[in-house]
Chains A and B, each alone.
Chain A
Amino acid sequence: MKRKTAFLISILLALVVVASIWYGRHHGLLPAAAGKEAVLYDRLFGTLIGIAFGLFLIVQGVLIYSLIKFRRKPGDTADAAPMHENLSLELVWTAVPTVLVMWVAIYSFDVYTEMRGTGALMMAHQHHHAPVMVADASGTSPLFSPDATTEVAEPLALEVQAMQFAWIFNYPGDVASAELHVPTGRRIRLNFAAMDVLHAFWVPELRLKQDTIPGTPTHLEFTPQKTGEYSVVCAELCGSYHGGMRATMVIQTPEEYQAWLTEQQELAQAYDGSMIAGRLEPSLDAGQIRQLQSRFMASGGHLNHSHS
């Protein structure tokens, strides 16, 4: 009887493991991955949602089984057999979650550093991060050396202004655009300035988000991989039309990107360096943006929002 129960439980647990792994790979809960970081994110997310799904099945399974199996029979007024504690069982359900969350913390930290491009915490199974590859003369700790597989040392840096309720992306040659155009395969660095209140730059397909803070510069780095048009969403409540503060991000091949930039630079020269390129949605027109931008420039790039 006891062996039969143990066998049955093993089978059920095996099924739960299979279901978790399957769900971790087929959850379909995330949009397309458009950047290198998004691919890393999706691997971590798949693992965590798989584990969560398995635990979900176990807990709900036990609850439903208990409700059916252990319901009181009519007329039975006696108490159930008392069971106050079981030390080994309690040790297991303390130790296993502890190990599990510590593992989640280390794995998350590893992914986090890799997404940030600041070098990865070494994990035995990720041999491509072997510290010997980045041995250099400067004496930097190998733990925090740049990943040897990172493509380009110098990221493409763009200045970004966030304001109620629009984004402005600045390119070399006096180009200010309401659309964010970036080339694939190159690390991009966005330097944010918030001109009024907090905003947050979020592209769901990049799985990255960064608050923009008035008075404090912040930045975000990522490497676009997949061409296409994506939404830039403001994720920090910024006022009445927060929900409408959106822009488009266009990921292009380096050639397309260069062609777009050249075109914009020519237009900007033709229009006295104050051209606002691209579409604007939904609440500000080009004139308003220009006004805001000149106010921003006049203040020397510092916050210049006065409130009466």
Chain B
Amino acid sequence: MTQVIPHYPMGDAQPNRTPWWTYFTFSTDHKVIGIQYLVTTFVFYLIGGALAAIIRTELATPDSDLMPPEWYNGMFTMHGTVMIFLWIVPSVTGGFGNYLVPLMIGARDMAFPFLNALAFWMIVPGATLLMGSFFVGPASTGWTAYPPLSILTEQHAGQIMWIFSLLIIGTSSILAAVNFVVTIWSMRMPGMGLFDMPLFCWATLAAAIMVLTSTPVLAGALILLSFDLMGGTNFFNPTGGGDPVVYQHLFWFYSHPAVYVMILPVFGIVSEVLPPHARKPIFGYKAIAYSSMMICALGLFVWAHHMFTSGTPDWLRIFFMVATLLVAVPTGIKVFSWMATLWGGKLRLESPLLFAVGFISMFVVGGLSGVMLGSAPIDIHVHDTYFVVGHFHYVLFGGSVFGIYAGLYHWFPKMTGRMFNEFWGKVHFVLTFVGFNLCFLPMHILGLMGMPRRVAQYDPQFTTINQICTFGAFLLAISTIPFLVNAVYSWLWGEAAPNNPWQALTLEWTTTSPPHPHNWEGDPVLETGPYDYGKDYSQSSLVRH
């Protein structure tokens, strides 16, 4: 790093710095849209987190004493809905996907820039409806909204707003997915074949295919549910001959793939973060790329493992058990490949790598409990208990959120043109890691011992363990403060970032930080493969821009 780093004080124009008000406009620049997604969804992460803190406060005591139980049901319903549909899905696809995919494949923008902006701005009415439902009594039938409860619910208006909100956000997600598939397929720069793409693009492609296959089915289910709710039809209402279990099939046909939509792009992020910070090529590029596609294919045929206790026929349970367990194979390939990437490297133990390694460590716990849950007889005992709550938080928080943080630290210099403060990044990591495990590890015990999920009151024998979870949740809430302060302060006043602070080899690091409005001032040049670490690049423009 012999380069001279210019210093841009607050308010001075960095080259290519986007004026703040651009982020409030209908911009079609994929980088602006990416940051719009990331900032907006992070706000919803904080809202969802506040709801979680309320839930954990109620559960600090066995009685339902903080609020009426129907409010409590509204809290966890909104917590789940916000975290899935307004935080993880849009941030990993819309946020990272939009910002990174064109830069990584050497394109000037996404294939359909107008559609891209439209998809982002659809979040606004969708989220407004969902947040507005707090004023009429929010949906309180869980994020699954199983009928007949969702049809007979007393929060009628809230439930309807919930349905329409999800329909809008789902449509936004479909539009974004179309854009990713077309962009990745047809807009790679000359000379970049599919197997020259960074792995994040593979992961995004797999996630986009899953969105396109499954989201329309959820839309269908929700439309029929809204008919039952508003028009008195009987698609899912047993009093008129409807079948509530059909809804469960349709719902999970989307909602299990949704889990992979939330984790596949994060797998991609981790595959991007590890090599430059370990100074080693990614281990097993093709295996990781293929395993994303395998997860995409297998993941579409596992949905009924959410229904092992729904009175499904035996053959169905067996089929879905085997399909579910098989997902462990491509997932295992990824985990082992990441471990091999670290092995023998020269690890730069800073925030991006710490969160990426934290991701592997925590995600594996969720994966192992996932294999146990895949076994039908095991699942029948722990289905709808805190064991499941523990499991999916290890996947979606220990997995997705740790990975998102790894990505945020890794690309922060590129996105903002400034460096973040490494010390507070480490503080953030330690608090998050400790808080997370205190909050979610004990939940496995609760579920196995007999505590169901979605309850405002519980058997007093579980008090101590619940209080540990609540303490962990508060620590987790506090852990976001160093991140927020660090991100805001560094974005405004941080040290100016060089073009390639990590000496990384993927294309986004060959342009300025932040990138030129057209991504590269001239044409991007493909000098190396994305992970060719360990070769001599002393002559390359990549390392010394």
Please say whether chains A and B are actual partners in one complex: yes
- List residues of chain A with CB under 8 Å of any chain B CB: 29-31, 40-41, 44-45, 48-49, 52, 55-56, 59-60, 62-63, 66-67, 70-73, 76-86, 89-90, 93-94, 97-98, 101-102, 104-105, 108-109, 111-112, 115-116, 118, 196-198, 200, 202, 204-205, 207-211, 213-216, 218, 231, 233-244, 303, 305-307
**Contacts A97-B332, A237-B146, A239-B149 given: A41-B381 contact, CB under 8 Å?**
yes
A200 close to B371 (CB less than 8 A): no
Interface centre among B73, B318, B365, B448 (most CB of A within 10 A): B448
- In the bound complex, how far is the Cα of B88 from the Cα of A131, in angstroms? 52
- In the bound complex, how far is the Cα of B384 from the Cα of A261, in angstroms? 33
CB contact between A31 and one of B340, B349, B450 (< 8 Å): that residue? B450
Tell me if B360 is interfacial: C-beta within 8 Å of chain A.
yes
B181 CB to closest chain A CB (Å) equals 27
B146 close to A44 (CB less than 8 A): no
A80 close to B346 (CB less than 8 A): yes
Interface centre among B279, B374, B458 (most CB of A within 10 A): B279
- Measured CB to CB, the nearest residue on chain B to A97 is B332
- In the bound complex, how far is the Cα of B385 from the Cα of A7, in angstroms? 43
A63 close to B360 (CB less than 8 A): yes
CB contact between B361 and one of A30, A44, A60, A90 (< 8 Å): that residue? A60
A93 close to B376 (CB less than 8 A): no
- In the bound complex, how far is the Cα of B347 from the Cα of A29, in angstroms? 37
B450 CB to closest chain A CB (Å) equals 3
B450 close to A204 (CB less than 8 A): yes
B233 CB to closest chain A CB (Å) equals 13
B154 CB to closest chain A CB (Å) equals 8
B325 close to A79 (CB less than 8 A): no
For the A-B complex, the count of residue pairs with Cβ-Cβ distances under 8 Å equals 267
Tell me if B524 is interfacial: C-beta within 8 Å of chain A.
no
B311 close to A216 (CB less than 8 A): yes
A200 close to B384 (CB less than 8 A): yes
- In the bound complex, how far is the Cα of B187 from the Cα of A284, in angstroms? 65
CB contact between B452 and one of A49, A102, A202, A207 (< 8 Å): that residue? A202
* B188 partner residues in chain A, CB cutoff 8 A: none
A155 CB to closest chain B CB (Å) equals 18
**Contacts A82-B535, A209-B380 given: A48-B151 contact, CB under 8 Å?**
no
* B148 partner residues in chain A, CB cutoff 8 A: 196-198, 214, 305
- Which of B215-223, B239-247, B480-488 is near enough to bind chain A? B239-247
Tell me if B369 is interfacial: C-beta within 8 Å of chain A.
yes
A233 close to B452 (CB less than 8 A): yes
* A98 partner residues in chain B, CB cutoff 8 A: 326, 329
B380 close to A48 (CB less than 8 A): no
A122 CB to closest chain B CB (Å) equals 16
Q: Which of B236-261 contact A (CB under 8 A)?
A: 238-239, 241-245
CB contact between B333 and one of A60, A70, A93, A234 (< 8 Å): that residue? A93
B345 close to A80 (CB less than 8 A): yes
> Which of the four size classes fits the interface of chain B?
35 or more
A70 close to B346 (CB less than 8 A): yes
**Contacts A216-B238, A242-B454 given: A83-B368 contact, CB under 8 Å?**
no
Task: Identify 16 residue pairs between A and B in the complex whose beta-carbon atoms are under 8 Å apart, listed by A's number.
Answer: A30-B449, A45-B372, A60-B364, A66-B343, A72-B347, A76-B346, A80-B279, A84-B285, A102-B322, A112-B376, A200-B384, A211-B309, A214-B244, A239-B73, A241-B69, A303-B239
CB contact between B340 and one of A49, A59, A83, A305 (< 8 Å): that residue? A83
B294 CB to closest chain A CB (Å) equals 10
B284 close to A90 (CB less than 8 A): yes
* A31 partner residues in chain B, CB cutoff 8 A: 448-450
Tell me if B357 is interfacial: C-beta within 8 Å of chain A.
yes
Tell me if B410 is interfacial: C-beta within 8 Å of chain A.
no
B365 close to A105 (CB less than 8 A): no
* A80 partner residues in chain B, CB cutoff 8 A: 278-280, 344-346, 533-534
* A72 partner residues in chain B, CB cutoff 8 A: 279, 346-349
B239 close to A305 (CB less than 8 A): yes
Tell me if B141 is interfacial: C-beta within 8 Å of chain A.
yes
A70 close to B309 (CB less than 8 A): no
- Measured CB to CB, the nearest residue on chain A to B444 is A29
- Measured CB to CB, the nearest residue on chain B to A237 is B454
Q: Which of B36-88 contact A (CB under 8 A)?
A: 64, 68-70, 73
- Measured CB to CB, the nearest residue on chain A to B369 is A52
Interface centre among B242, B243, B348, B376 (most CB of A within 10 A): B376
**Contacts A52-B368, A82-B533, A214-B148 given: A29-B448 contact, CB under 8 Å?**
yes
Tell me if B419 is interfacial: C-beta within 8 Å of chain A.
no
* B532 partner residues in chain A, CB cutoff 8 A: 82
Q: Which of B366-407 contact A (CB under 8 A)?
A: 368-369, 371-372, 374-378, 380-381, 383-385
B255 CB to closest chain A CB (Å) equals 15
- Measured CB to CB, the nearest residue on chain A to B533 is A79
CB contact between B383 and one of A62, A76, A235, A242 (< 8 Å): that residue? A235
Tell me if B418 is interfacial: C-beta within 8 Å of chain A.
no
**Contacts A62-B343, A213-B310, A238-B149 given: A56-B368 contact, CB under 8 Å?**
yes
A200 CB to closest chain B CB (Å) equals 6
* A66 partner residues in chain B, CB cutoff 8 A: 339, 342-343, 345, 347
- In the bound complex, how far is the Cα of B111 from the Cα of A24, in angstroms? 53
A159 CB to closest chain B CB (Å) equals 16
- In the bound complex, how far is the Cα of B532 from the Cα of A83, in angstroms? 10
Complex interface bits, B438-475 against A, C-beta within 8 A gives 1, otherwise 0:
00000011001110101111110000000000000000
B321 close to A82 (CB less than 8 A): no
- In the bound complex, how far is the Cα of B532 from the Cα of A104, in angstroms? 39
Known: A45-B372, A79-B535, A105-B325. 7 other contacts (CB 8 A): A41-B381, A44-B378, A48-B371, A79-B534, A83-B340, A200-B384, A237-B73
- In the bound complex, how far is the Cα of B357 from the Cα of A70, in angstroms? 13
- Measured CB to CB, the nearest residue on chain B to A236 is B384
- In the bound complex, how far is the Cα of B70 from the Cα of A60, in angstroms? 41
A85 close to B346 (CB less than 8 A): no
